[in-house]
């Protein structure tokens, strides 16, 4: 639609441009470029050959002689296959247990009436304010006493449920129409059946969102595995990448290659899962 003056003459082209939107997009683009700059530099360094000076000024983002030798060296001279398997196993189990326990805990907090419900929910949410470093030592002592040191279960057990996950799922359950719940009860569904057939089926976007957050947090977790593990066969990828600094005497090309390997699964997981975050007309939504 062409903008016109009151006298019906068209405005000049420069006045038709949405200058406010252009300014907003320009600021957002600058912020995005600033955030992506370290990642682009990491990828560029991973593909640079040993003949290139990665510390030259001004820096060169495009490798003069792109090579995959850094990735091959890292994979062959370190048990990155084992690190990759460990990270996949830990992340998948952590996501599955979070989805199960957080949704189970959120259902009665959202849909059932009982004494102290609001106080219990407030207490759970308040634990978000407690930094992990405060409970780290008691968790380590408990893990040792339970015989979970140097084990997959030991890496997973502090994170099988989270206050954020319970809060997210409770809010999603509150958005499910009560008519669906009442119809399920009339059909003879138990509370567990309502949780599975109504609540879980109607809050898939929230489940996918929680899965993405948990997967990224579990995959990139460095501190807890570092404390709990001292056997390399249980190392996850963050520990494996940290080990590269000693293995290759700070060869930044190889460290960058290991870092790229470690972040690729997160990017793939996010790209695959984000298409399921689609709300529907019912509020929380379904996507087939």
Structural domain boundaries in the chain:
15-67, 78-274
Residue 172 in tokens = 């999603």
Listed residue (153, 146, 185, 163) closest to 109, CA to CA: 163
154-186: pLDDT as tens digits: 999 999 999 999 999 999 999 999 999 999 999
Q: What's the confidence (pLDDT) of residue 22?
A: 73
Mean model confidence pLDDT for the chain: 85
Using CA atoms, how far residue 218 sits from 93, 100, 180, 186, 241, in Å, is 10, 16, 34, 41, 15
- Which homologous superfamily is 78-274 in? MetI-like (1.10.3720.10)
Reply yes or no on whether the pLDDT at 288 is more than 80: no
16-69 pLDDT tens trace: 556 567 777 888 888 988 888 888 888 888 898 878 887 777 777 788 888 898
Spacing of C-alpha 180 from chain mean position: 31
Helical ranges in the chain per DSSP H: 13-16, 19-46, 69-77, 80-111, 117-126, 132-145, 152-156, 163-174, 178-186, 191-194, 201-202, 204-220, 223-228, 237-247, 252-274
Question: Which of 40-54, 76-90, 111-125, 177-191 shows the lowest mean pLDDT across its residues?
Answer: 40-54
Termini Cα distance of the chain: 37
pLDDT of residue 4: 46
- Which residues are CB-neighbours of 227 under 8 A, at least 6 positions away? 136, 140
């Amino acid at each position: 639609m062409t903008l016109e003056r009151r006298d019906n003459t068209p405005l000049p082209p420069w006045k038709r441009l949405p200058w406010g939107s252009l300014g907003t997009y320009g600021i957002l683009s600058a912020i995005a470029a600033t955030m992506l700059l370290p990642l682009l530099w990491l990828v560029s360094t991973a593909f640079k050959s040993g003949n290139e000076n990665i510390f030259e000024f001004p820096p060169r983002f495009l490798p003069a002689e792109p090579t995959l030798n850094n990735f091959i060296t890292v994979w062959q001279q370190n048990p990155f296959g084992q690190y990759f398997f460990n990270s996949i196993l830990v992340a998948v189990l952590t996501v599955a247990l979070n989805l199960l326990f957080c949704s189970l805990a959120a259902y009665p907090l959202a849909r059932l009436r009982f004494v102290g419900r609001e106080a219990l929910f407030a207490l759970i949410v308040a634990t978000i304010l407690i930094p992990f470093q405060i409970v780290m030592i008691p968790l380590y002592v408990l893990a040792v006493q339970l015989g979970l040191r140097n084990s997959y279960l030991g890496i997973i057990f502090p994170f099988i449920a989270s206050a954020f996950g319970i809060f997210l799922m409770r809010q999603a359950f509150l958005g499910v129409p009560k008519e669906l719940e009442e119809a399920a009860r009339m059909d003879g569904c138990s509370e567990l059946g309502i949780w599975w057939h109504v609540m879980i089926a109607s809050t898939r976007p929230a489940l996918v969102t929680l899965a993405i957050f948990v997967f990224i947090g579990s995959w990139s977790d460095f501190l807890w595995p570092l404390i709990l593990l001292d056997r390399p066969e249980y190392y996850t990828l963050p520990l494996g990448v940290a080990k590269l600094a000693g293995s290759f005497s700070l060869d930044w090309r190889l460290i960058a290659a290991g870092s790229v390997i470690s972040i690729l699964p997160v990017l793939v997981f996010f790209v695959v899962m984000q298409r399921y975050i689609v709300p529907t007309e019912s509020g929380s939504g379904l996507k087939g």
